[in-house]
Chain A
Amino acid sequence: MSKEKNWKEISLAAVPSKSSVSFLTGDWKTYMPNHALEKCVKCLTCAILCPEGAIRFNPEHGQVEFNFSFCKGCGICANECPAKAIAMKIPEEEE
C-alpha cells in the first residue's frame, strides 16, 4: 500500500489540463447547416451568435466557413441569417 499523502503534498485544486478543442462535439448534430455562398452577404451575424464559435470568417478566401467538427446543428445561424443563406438539412447517409 502506498503511503498516504499529507495535506501539504495534495495539490490545491483539480486542474483541467487539456484544451476542450481536442473534444469534438460535431457528431452530436442531427441537422447540418447548408451554406449558400452566393446568397451570403457576409454580415457575420451567424459567426457572432453561434454558441460554439464554429463559424469563422476566412479573410484569405473572403468567405464565412463552418467548422463541422464542433457544430452541434442547433440552427441559430439559419434562423438569424438576414439573407436566408443557411438552410438546415439532414445529411444524407453515405453509402
Chain B
Amino acid sequence: MSTQEWKFTAKDIIAKPDLFLPGHRACAGCGPATVLRLILKATRGPTIVTQATGCMEIVGSIYPYTSWALPWIHTAFENAAANASGIEAALKIMRKKGKIKDEHVDVIALAGDGGTYDIGLQALSGAVERGHDFLFILYDNEGYMNTGIQRSSSTPIGASTTTSPAGTAIPGKLEKKKPITEIMLAHDLEYAATATPYYWKDLITKVRKGLEVKGPAFLHVFAPCPRGWRSEPSKTMEYSKLAVESCVFPIWEAINGKRQLSTPSKVISLAPQKKKPVKAYLEGQGRFRHLFTPKNTHIVDEIQQATDERWQKLLQQCTSTNP
C-alpha cells in the first residue's frame, strides 16, 4: 500500500459535486446521511456502490426517485458483501473479454449495523476470505432504526430500544456491543479502520486508503441517529465528537495488522486529562435517560469502567504492534 498522504481540504471537498444528492428522505439531523455524502467525496474514479437494506437504502431510493449520482445496486440485508464480490468478479471477466474499457473500477459495499453485525456477517466474512477487491463500509447507528429502533448486536450496554425497553424489569440492553472491527481484523485484512463524521478529513482519508488497497478493506463509521438515540437533531455531530473524546469510540486504523491511533484519539492518549467522562456522552441521549435515575447510577460507573478497560487494551495493542 502506498504511504502517500492525501490532502483533502475543505475547499476541495465542497468544490467536488455531491454524489449522494439532496432530496433524500432521511430525518433532519441524520448522521448516516452526512457519512454517505463524505464517503462519496473520496471516490477517485469509476465507482459502483452496492448497499444492503437499511435506513440509508430506503431514504435514498424511494421509487421513482434516486439520490445516487453513481451506479448503485440495492441488495438484501444478508448479502452486501456477496454482491460486491459478484460485481468485482463480473468486472474482471468483462474486462478480460474486452466488453468494458480496461480501467480500474472501485467497488464499495455499504451496510448499516444490522447488515454487518448481525445479518450480513457471514457474507462479509466469506467475501473477505476470498480476497475480493472491495471496500466495505459499515455505518453504525447502533440499532435497527429503520424498522422502529430495535436492538442490534451493535447497541451498547444500557441503551433503551423498543426490544430492550428500560423499565422495572431491565435497565435497557444487558449485553455488550460486539467488537466488529476486531472480528474483521482477525481475517488478516490489509486495511481496517474506525472513523466518525465529525473528524471529516480523517474519515475521507480513510475511505480513500481503503479504496487504494488491492483486496478487501473494512471501515467502521460511527453515525449518530437522532431519532433512534432520542437526541437533539442539532447535536448529531457533537455526539460523534464526544464519542471519540470520551473514548467510547476511539478512532484508529490498522495497516497490515499494525494499529495506530488517528490524530484525535492520539491527542487523548498523549494528554489523558483531555479524556472526557462517558457521562458527558451519555447525557442528553434519551436512550440513556434511565441511567441517571438513582437506582441505575451504578450502570454509568460500569460503562465508564468498561470503556476505560477497552481504551487501555487498545493503547496496549497500538504500542505492542508499533514498538
Contacts and interface: CB of A to CB of B under 8 A. Distances in A.
Contacts of A73: 28
A2 B63 CA distance: 25
Given A13-B74, A53-B37, 10 more contacts: A13-B73, A16-B62, A19-B23, A22-B23, A29-B28, A47-B10, A48-B38, A51-B33, A57-B15, A74-B30
A13 B72 CA distance: 12
B200 A20 contact: no
Given A74-B234, A76-B234, A51 B64 contact: no
Contacts of B34: 49-51, 76
Interface stretch (B43-51, B142-150, B235-243): B235-243
B237 to A, nearest CB: 5
A44 B10 contact: yes
Secondary structure at the B interface, as helix, strand, loop or mixed, is mixed
Contacts of A79: 234-235, 237-238
B21 A18 contact: no
B310 interface: no
A40 interface: no
A57 B64 contact: no
A70 B25 CA distance: 10
B14 interface: yes
Q: Can you list the 3 inter-chain pairs with the closest CB atoms, starting with the nearest?
A: A75-B234, A20-B23, A74-B29
A60 to B, nearest CB: 13
A57 B234 contact: no
B23 A23 contact: yes
Contact of B65 (A16, A28, A47): A16
A52 B237 CA distance: 14
A1 interface: no
Given A49-B197, A76-B29, A43 B10 contact: yes
A34 interface: no
A24 B22 CA distance: 8
Contacts of B235: 79
Interface string B50-83: 0000000000111111110100011000000000
Interface residues of A, number: 38
Nearest to A73: B28
A27 to B, nearest CB: 12
Contacts of B233: 74-76
Given A19-B21, A20-B23, A70-B23, A48 B13 contact: yes
B33 A52 contact: yes
29 contacts: A13-B73, A14-B63, A16-B64, A18-B64, A18-B66, A19-B66, A19-B67, A19-B69, A20-B23, A20-B67, A25-B24, A25-B25, A28-B28, A44-B14, A47-B14, A50-B34, A51-B28, A51-B37, A53-B20, A54-B22, A70-B22, A72-B29, A75-B232, A75-B233, A75-B234, A76-B29, A76-B237, A79-B234, A79-B235
A56 B235 CA distance: 21
A76 B3 CA distance: 34
A56 B74 CA distance: 29
Interface string B105-128: 000000000000000000000000
